[in-house]
Amino acid sequence: AIRDDMDIRNCQIVGEGAFKGCSSLTGILLGESLQAIEKEAFALCSKVETIILPESLAPTLSHEVFAAL
């Protein structure tokens, strides 16, 4: 089953196109261990309303990570 909110707090890298076009995704929770979000990782996720990043987080964001949100 696809969840509405994606809790990926333990993820180090969100790969290229990992959630691209996921039309049911409404929220993204990222954690301290995140090092990079690659190209178009969350592109075309049209229902995303909330993205939570920890204050201390400074990941490397690739081109068009959140394209067409």
Provide DSSP, 8-60: ETT-SEE-TTTTTT-TT--EEEE-TT--EE-TTTTTT-TT--EEE--TT--PE
pTM of model > 0.95: no
Rounded distance, CA 15 to CA 47, Å?
A: 20
pLDDT at 61: 67
Span 7-55, pLDDT tens digits: 888 888 889 999 999 988 899 888 888 888 889 999 999 998 888 877 7
pLDDT at 2: 42
A 10 A CB-CB count for 28 gives 23
pLDDT at 18: 92
